[in-house]
Amino acid sequence: MILTENITKQFGSVLAVDSLSLDVREGEVFGFLGPNGAGKTTTVRMLTSLIGPTSGTATVNGLVLGKQDTEIRRTVGVLTETPGMYDNLPAEYNLRIFAELYEVKDVRGQVEKYLRMLGLWERRFDSAGTFSKGMKQKLAIARALLHEPRILFLDEPTAGLDPEAAHLVREFIAELKKEGRTIFLCTHNLDEADRLCDRVAVFKTHLLVLDTPSNLRASIFGRKVVFHLAAVDEAMLAAVRALSFVREVKIVENKLLVTLEDPETYNPEVIRTLVKAGAEIQFVGELRHSLEEVYLQLVRSA
C-alpha cells in the first residue's frame, strides 16, 4: 500500500529524513516510532503529498508521489498532529466542509455516520471551540475518515488525551483495522504501539529497525523464561547452563531466569533437566520486555 525507496528530505543543511525505504502492507497497522524531531511528521507530510521529498521515490496506494499528488490526497486520510478545527464553526459544519472538499457523494450521510460513531452527534451544533481536547481529537478522526480512505495516517492520535479518551481512540483504531484499512500510526506511546501495531519501525532520521514487536524483543533481548522453583541451588544452575541451547542463566531469588532462542521447543528439555536435578517447579512463564525497553535500547544506541 505504501512503498518508499530511499526517500530523503533535506531542509537547507538539516537532514530530516535520510534514505527511508519502507513497505507498508495492506490492512496492517504500521507503527512509526521515534523521538521528537526524528522526522516522523516530515515523513507523514511527504507520504500525504503535503511536501515533496528531496530525493527518492514512493508510491501510496499505487499512486506515484510527486506526479499524482492530488489523487494521493484524495485517497488517504490524515489526522494531523493538532486537530486544527474551525473553532467558531459547529462540529457538523466543520465536517461538512471537509466532506465537500473530499468530494464525498453523500455529505450529510457520511457526516452523520461518523458523528454518531464517535459519540458526537448530540453536540453537532456546538462550536468545535467548546469541545474538550478528546472530543476535538475524535472530531479530527471523523474528518480524516469522511471519504472512507483505505489508508489512514494518524500522527499522535492519543497525545494529550486523558486515559479514557485515549482508550476510546485506541478502540476505534482497532475497529478501523478490523475493517481492513491500512493505518500508518506515528506515536510516542509505546504501549499503544505494542497493542495495536502489526509491525513497527523505529526511526531517527533514518530507519533503525522494522519488524513485529515480538521479533524486535527477541532480536534485542532474546527470549527469557522464568522458572519459579520451591528452592534453587548451584547444581540446578549448572545443569541448565550445561544445555547447549541455553544462552544465559541467572538465579534471581528462588527463580531461574533462562535466556534461550526458542522456548516452545526447548522448555520441555529444561524442565526435564531441572526435575532430574531435584527441582520442584511451581510455575513457568516468559519474561516479556516492553516495547519501551526495546525502543530505548535502539534509540540510545543509534
Partner 1 sequence: MKKIGTIIRKEWAEVFKNRMVIFTVAFLPLLMTALPLVIIYSTRGSASADSLNSQISSEMITAMCPSGLSGAECFQVFMISEFMMLFLIVPVAIPVTIAAYSIVGEKTTRSLEPLLATPITTVELLVGKCLAAVIPAVLATYAAFGIFALGSWLIVANKMLLTALLDARWLIAIFIVGPLLAIMAVAFSLMVSSRVNDPRVAEQISMVIIVPVLAGFFGQVAGLFVVNRQVITVTAMIMLALDVLLVFLTTRVFQRESILTRWK
> Least CB distance from residue 114 to partner 1, whole Å?
15
Determine contact, residues 250/257, Cβ cutoff 8 Å: yes
- Residue 184 or 227: the one with the smaller Cβ distance to partner 1 is 184
Residue 173 CB partners (closer than 8 Å, separation 6+): 29, 154, 157, 183, 185, 196
- Residue 66 or 268: the one with the smaller Cβ distance to partner 1 is 66
How many residues touch partner 1 under the rule CB under 8 A: the total is 30
- Residue 181 or 199: the one with the smaller Cβ distance to partner 1 is 181
Determine contact, residues 256/236, Cβ cutoff 8 Å: yes
The cell numbers describing 154, all together, are 494518524
According to the binding rule CB under 8 A, does residue 138 interact with partner 1?
A: no
According to the binding rule CB under 8 A, does residue 51 interact with partner 1?
A: yes
According to the binding rule CB under 8 A, does residue 13 interact with partner 1?
A: no
Pick one of 45, 177, 181, 199: the residue that binds partner 1 (CB under 8 A).
45
Query: Radius of gyration over alpha carbons of the chain, in Å?
Result: 24
According to the binding rule CB under 8 A, does residue 101 interact with partner 1?
A: yes
Pick one of 8, 21, 27, 89: the residue that binds partner 1 (CB under 8 A).
89
Q: 108-112: which pairs have CB atoms within 8 A and are 24 or more residues apart?
A: 110/146, 110/147, 110/148, 111/146
The residue range among 57-65, 89-97, 210-218, 268-276 that interacts with partner 1, by the rule CB under 8 A, is 89-97
According to the binding rule CB under 8 A, does residue 82 interact with partner 1?
A: yes
Per-residue exposure over 269-297, b if at least 16 CB sit within 10 Å of its own CB, e if not: ebeebbeebebeeeebeeeebebeebbee
The cell numbers describing 144, all together, are 480524516
Pick one of 5, 6, 10, 11: the residue that binds partner 1 (CB under 8 A).
11
> Least CB distance from residue 221 to partner 1, whole Å?
38
Determine contact, residues 152/1, Cβ cutoff 8 Å: no
Pick one of 43, 61, 80, 110: the residue that binds partner 1 (CB under 8 A).
80
- Residue 45 or 138: the one with the smaller Cβ distance to partner 1 is 45
DSSP string, 230-278: SS--HHHHHHHHTSTTEEEEEEETTEEEEEES-HHHHHHHHHHHHHHTT
Which residues of the shown chain bind partner 1 in the complex (CB under 8 A)?
A: 11, 42, 45, 48, 50-52, 70-71, 73-74, 78, 80, 82-89, 93, 97-98, 100-103, 140, 143
